Structure 1
Amino acid sequence: MTPPPARRRRNAANGTAPSHNLPRRGTVRRAQAISTYGVGSLIAVDHESFVVSGLDEADRSWREDESPVVHERRLARLLDVDFFRLPPASDDTSKDGLRVRRFPLMHSCPECNDLQPHRDFSPPAGRSVCGTCEVDLVPSRFVVACEAGHLDEFPYWQWVHRSPDRDSTRIGKCGGKLRMRTTGRTSSLRSIVISCTCGQVPEVSMEGSFRRNALKDLRLTCQGARPWLGLSATDPAGCGLPVRTLQRGSSSVWQPVLKSALSIPPWSSGRADPLAAHWSKLRKYDNPARIEGYLDAVFGDDKWPLPLEEILTLLDAEQEEDLDGETAPTFDHRYRALRNKEYERLRSGNDESEQSRDEQFVCETPLGDPSVLQPLGITGPMLVKKLREVRALKAFTRLLDAESTTDPKEMPLSQKPLRWLPAMEVRGEGVFLRLDESRLEAWEKAPKVAARVERMRTAHQRVLDQRADDPNLAVSSPATPRMVLVHTLAHVLINEWSLEAGYPSASLRERLYAADDMAGMLIYTATSDSAGSLGGLVVQGEPEFLDSTVRSALRRTEWCSSDPLCMEADAARSTETNLAACHACVMLPETSCEHNNILLDRALLVGTPDAPSLGFFAPLTGG
């Protein structure tokens, strides 16, 4: 998605402009600043291209009133930071915004066909036009990246002057200038032709530049360039990995590593926020007397943010999330423990009548009789009347999917370690429900169910192995019968509620809890606008409404407009990671799904024509 056109900077005479009078280019929403246009990503504005700058100068350039501090202790502890900050807004009333740097620097002129760095065109100040032809310059369509996260210009000189017997040290010293032209015969790379005016080499097309070993054959390796940190910034550790050619707008150029957490008691009241920078030190003290001494030294007598009893309760809550028996728990283990604690709290609830007005998590038992849901195999519905989720940008990757390998090559957001990360908070409401454990255990042990899910797991594992740099480091597919069942049910409920409750499906989101001891889902509003606080979703969790919704959703799920092709899909004979699932039945907008619309199969809900008993809800659908 390209941001809106650029706007001129307001007059700074009233003192509202930032300390550096930088030109303004386009707008980006706060949510996009961590999910689409985060640090290190490429952003197109009109006919120009930029890379979003790192966070090393953010403490100075991000204004406190436009980039407030956000606290979420459980997530901050997981990511080893003290707090989070909202990215600065860039709307009509904002005074500043995200800082960007021009990238790639190589541009071409469609009139004279010159291909050279942007500054060599001698453009007028604040404009990106050819100083000779006065037409808009075109940023290079091609960049190169490595799996360690580095990003660099495409080596046009080496590509044109390539030759097995050519001295690579002489490349670029031929005295000629590069030219780029398009033949117009086809829309393929063969029509993009690069030449050099030196006359020593013939012109060559860009065909073949995207081969995995195209640049390796030229003996080119990554130089560790990090343009988002500065034009001359390189990785001090070096690199040397192979580089791949990418389209500037490719999704492989930048993939965010996002982590999120719900605010749950005892942290959800916000009372602990003043102690955000002190918890790591308070955890080191093993008795209340030493904690008292520390608080007196920091805050003074009688000026503590919280009473000692409440501080001890919070420290005990932290210890409950520690992994017993794990001497060196991995990040994934700690993240799983965070989810487990959320599942416990969603099951137990948090009554609003017993909490203060500042409480950010209110989860109550419905007023209706939950026994009406027993024939469905659904139990434990909870009405989450208030919730808050914080989503933080931990790092980013290039080429590799961070979820596909146990050793992801994540690139940090700054050159120097920071004690905070950019994040977005969502406040809204939701419905939590669980599947009956006894009925679920009997269903998932059925041979036909296990065999069908194994086909999906095999296809997914094959994809993970292909995406991982080293197949031995690829993560194991999470596909299990209960995981696929819970995931698909969440999708059909979101689709149903988008029809019955008036919510667009893109404003709803799933949060899945599927493991050996968990089988539940939270469906909640996932936007920061008014759709998150209208109360229309919570009422859908009342048993009588939920019973009607589930039955209606199952009836819709029995048939798809793409049947019989959809129901007869076979993951074993393709690279697909779904079975009976397509955009006409159960798939959702990518923003609503935790697993990128994979590991879905509506046959596990309602069965198939050949095996109606395969579905978990088969007794309701006549299977």
Structure 2
Amino acid sequence: MALRSDKNTGGEKTPTFQRLGAVRRTQLITTYGVGAMIALGDQSYLVSGLDGWRVGRDPDIHEFRLQTRLGMRKGFYLPPAADPPAGDGVRIRRFPDMYTCPGKDARPDTGCDENLRRYGAFNPKPGSTACASCDEPLTPSRFIVACERGHLDDFPYEAWVHGRPLRANERSGHRLSYRSTGRTAALRSIVVGCSCGEEASMEGAFGRGSLASVNFRCFGKRPWLPRGSDEECGLTPRTMQRGSSAAWFPVVRSALSIPPFSEELYEELLVPGRYDQWKGEDDGLIRRLAEKAGLVPGRFEADDVVEAVRHYEAYEAGERPDPSVLTGFEPSDVLREEEYRQLDRESDTQHFQTKRPHELPDAPAPPGIAGTMLVTRLREVRALQTFTRVDPPMEGDSEDRLAALSRDDVGWLPAVEVVGEGVFLRLSADRIAEWTAPAPGLTAGPEERAASIRRHHQELLNQRAHRSKRQSPSSQVDARLLLVHTLAHALINEWSLDAGYPASALRERLYVSEDMAGVLIYTASSDSAGSLGGLVSQGEPRRLRRSLASALRRISWCSADPLCMESEASGVDSLNLAACHACMLVPETSCELNNDFLDRAMLIGTPDKTTQGFFEEFMSAL
């Protein structure tokens, strides 16, 4: 996928574009999506909104459940390809706008004393990023500001130097300069000065209330959208480095293609314009239209076509559980409930094939595992719904935290589809109930340990709700979630060794609620790592017992023990217990919950026996 930028600096009415670089289509969903910054060479750019993307008339990807859930009337489109005729790339815009010129240090005779200005003030030649005065390459500002509502702006150097924003009639006599004393690597060695004689170092600029101290408020800037897209805000923004990971957190929604929607007939009904014309019609007309379209006779039965249309209508009308109603906690939402039911039965459709492993008398399922399903084929659609800044997205976030991908309602989202394989494990509900029940002699049972993480999580939810002036949701962290999530991480780390996949090519998909306790570990990658094969075989009885036993032995000891196991809190915002990089954490691309809500004591228990592990019976038999 090509990235293109307007190379004109003048006032031409018809802009021309130059190709500046390329990224993969999947990166336009997960890494360099709308509103994200991308470094190309020594320059920095911002990926533009969907308003400027050139896509075809008809959607490229169909996933009815996800489309209904997200309310996308047009569906999903692949990000534009790199070269015509498939597409002409995605527009990017220069950001930040503030630049520095090293000319004063490189060539003292150039007169570049006021070397901190907006990019256009250096008068670079068309197609060049060099200062017109000294011909030295310009450098984008290291610092930017962003607020929790997704707005983005240049760092307010003028207000920082003077201790307050300057009024419009005061600005003409103030020219800024930027220098580093070189004494230390700390921020206090970076000094911003003004021609009026005022100067200030950058020390303290990253504090949460630092910009409030100079009375600077967010102006609601949305530079990734067309001009005129700014909105009211007024929050106090946060200072961050230009390349900070906190500058862009994608909110990616996904769904598996499951029966009946994964059947070939249902795919045929979503041919552009077909279902929209057929829905609501009587059975006879649908049969005639199906014959005219060549679906019957021969390929499908007329009654099956009518039934499929009615099935789509019922789902769309909400007679089935409405997938647009979210619980705020994705592992328990209605899309997951539908997938959980399908993953527990055998299927053979175009995009979804599952089968049960052969039962072996000498290799029974490990205690606590109620069911195993080999998923020999799956299709997942991932769509970029929105993004956040400053803080990562979390269940219960208010809508004003979710940034817009376009100024106008375009009715579609960028998405990619990936195929792969996996293994689904369903935990025994009876064993979970027995395990979580209070037991004599255990002073810190599973629910008591989970309560510690739930308390920290609730405090974090309360803090965010207070800043947004809204009611805080209740934390849904419990022992069941910690158990399923920690088991997923243990198996990902183990299977990455046994199956030959890098851990980053494996993903977890959690199913956790009062009625669900399961995990799908799968590979769904668009590159070569997604087609190695071999993951499904890990669900065969002997391999599963062997790999689970090995995973439990591996996490029973951590190189950071006893500190890791005895820790009262670990991880970002204290959302983990016995879990660290040496034992439980996996690549960010593999985890749904940002490596939070983990505790290996849930699987193996604590050394002092105050907490029982879910698989202690299995481990004792090894």
Could you tell me the TM-score, scaled by structure 2's length?
A: 0.86
* Unmatched 5+ stretches in structure 1: 10-18
Deviations, residues 430-487 of structure 1 (Å, cap 9, x unaligned): 0011112211110012361211111121122223333443475344333211111111
Distance 1:42 1:310 in 2: 47
Change (3 A) 1:217 1:559: closer
Contact 1:50 1:104 (C-alpha < 8 Å) held by counterparts? yes
Change (3 A) 1:553 1:55: same
Question: Aligned residue for 2:392?
Answer: 401
Question: Aligned residue for 1:413?
Answer: 405
State the Cα distance separating 1:260 from its structure 2 match: 0.5
Question: Aligned residue for 2:498?
Answer: 500
Contact 2:68 2:316 (C-alpha < 8 Å) held by counterparts? no
1:372 aligns with 2:363: yes
State the Cα distance separating 1:319 from its structure 2 match: 3.8
1:170 aligns with 2:169: yes
What is the SS of the residue equivalent to 1:567? helix
Distance 1:229 1:387 in 2: 35
Deviations, residues 153-194 of structure 1 (Å, cap 9, x unaligned): 22222222335xx963433122x4211111111222211111
Question: Aligned residue for 2:20?
Answer: 25
* Equivalent runs, 1:395-474 vs 2, <5 Å: 395-408=386-399, 409-446=401-438, 448-468=445-465, 469-470=467-468, 473-474=471-472
What is the SS of the residue equivalent to 2:493? helix
Change (3 A) 1:29 1:92: farther
Question: Aligned residue for 1:13?
Answer: none
Distance 2:61 2:609 in 1: 51
1:145 aligns with 2:139: no
State the Cα distance separating 1:488 from its structure 2 match: 0.7
Contact 1:429 1:524 (C-alpha < 8 Å) held by counterparts? yes
Contact 1:43 1:51 (C-alpha < 8 Å) held by counterparts? yes
State the Cα distance separating 1:212 from its structure 2 match: 2.9
Distance 2:459 2:421 in 1: 37
Question: Aligned residue for 2:209?
Answer: 213
Distance 1:312 1:126 in 2: 59
1:269 aligns with 2:263: yes
State the Cα distance separating 1:534 from its structure 2 match: 3.8
Compare 360-369 and 319-328 and name the one that shifted more. Answer: 319-328
Equivalent residue for 2:551, pick from 542, 550, 553: 553
Equivalent residue for 2:51, pick from 47, 56, 62: 56
Partner amino acid, structure 2, of 1:249: G
Distance 2:324 2:528 in 1: 40
Partner amino acid, structure 1, of 2:503: S
Contact 1:41 1:52 (C-alpha < 8 Å) held by counterparts? yes
What is the SS of the residue equivalent to 1:595? coil
Distance 2:529 2:558 in 1: 29
Contact 2:68 2:324 (C-alpha < 8 Å) held by counterparts? no
Contact 1:70 1:83 (C-alpha < 8 Å) held by counterparts? yes
Compare 573-582 and 27-36 and name the one that shifted more. Answer: 573-582
Compare 366-375 and 150-159 and name the one that shifted more. Answer: 366-375
Compare 509-518 and 571-580 and name the one that shifted more. Answer: 571-580
Distance 2:255 2:475 in 1: 22
State the Cα distance separating 1:242 from its structure 2 match: 2.7
1:101 aligns with 2:101: no
State the Cα distance separating 1:104 from its structure 2 match: 0.9
Contact 1:227 1:233 (C-alpha < 8 Å) held by counterparts? no
* Equivalent runs, 1:149-548 vs 2, <5 Å: 149-162=150-163, 168-174=167-173, 176-197=174-195, 199=196, 201-230=197-226, 232-235=227-230, 237-273=231-267, 275-276=269-270, 285=280, 289=282, 302-303=292-293, 307=302, 309-313=304-308, 315-316=310-311, 319=314, 330-332=325-327, 336-351=333-348, 355=349, 359-369=350-360, 372-408=363-399, 409-446=401-438, 448-468=445-465, 469-470=467-468, 473-548=471-546
Question: Aligned residue for 2:41?
Answer: 46
Deviations, residues 256-300 of structure 1 (Å, cap 9, x unaligned): 111000000111135434544669968984xx62x665897xx69
What is the SS of the residue equivalent to 1:173? helix
Change (3 A) 1:303 1:575: closer
What is the SS of the residue equivalent to 2:38? strand
State the Cα distance separating 1:125 from its structure 2 match: 1.9
Question: Aligned residue for 2:612?
Answer: 614
Distance 1:107 1:479 in 2: 45
Change (3 A) 1:205 1:561: same
Contact 1:407 1:473 (C-alpha < 8 Å) held by counterparts? no
Distance 1:573 1:256 in 2: 21
Distance 1:607 1:45 in 2: 49
Distance 2:287 2:93 in 1: 44
Distance 2:429 2:116 in 1: 65
Distance 2:559 2:32 in 1: 36
Contact 1:321 1:337 (C-alpha < 8 Å) held by counterparts? no
Distance 2:232 2:286 in 1: 43
State the Cα distance separating 1:92 from its structure 2 match: 13
State the Cα distance separating 1:381 from its structure 2 match: 0.7
What is the SS of the residue equivalent to 1:524? strand
* Equivalent runs, 1:118-129 vs 2, <5 Å: 118-129=119-130
Distance 2:228 2:124 in 1: 24
Question: Aligned residue for 1:589?
Answer: 587
1:135 aligns with 2:136: yes
State the Cα distance separating 1:124 from its structure 2 match: 2.2
Distance 1:505 1:528 in 2: 15
Change (3 A) 1:100 1:438: same
Contact 1:455 1:572 (C-alpha < 8 Å) held by counterparts? no
Distance 1:561 1:130 in 2: 53
Change (3 A) 1:274 1:153: farther
Contact 1:405 1:475 (C-alpha < 8 Å) held by counterparts? yes
Could you tell me the TM-score, scaled by structure 1's length?
A: 0.86
Question: Aligned residue for 2:567?
Answer: 569
Partner amino acid, structure 1, of 2:454: R
Distance 1:284 1:303 in 2: 15
Contact 2:480 2:512 (C-alpha < 8 Å) held by counterparts? yes
Distance 2:198 2:620 in 1: 71
Number of aligned residues: 589
Question: Aligned residue for 2:109?
Answer: none
What is the SS of the residue equivalent to 1:379? strand
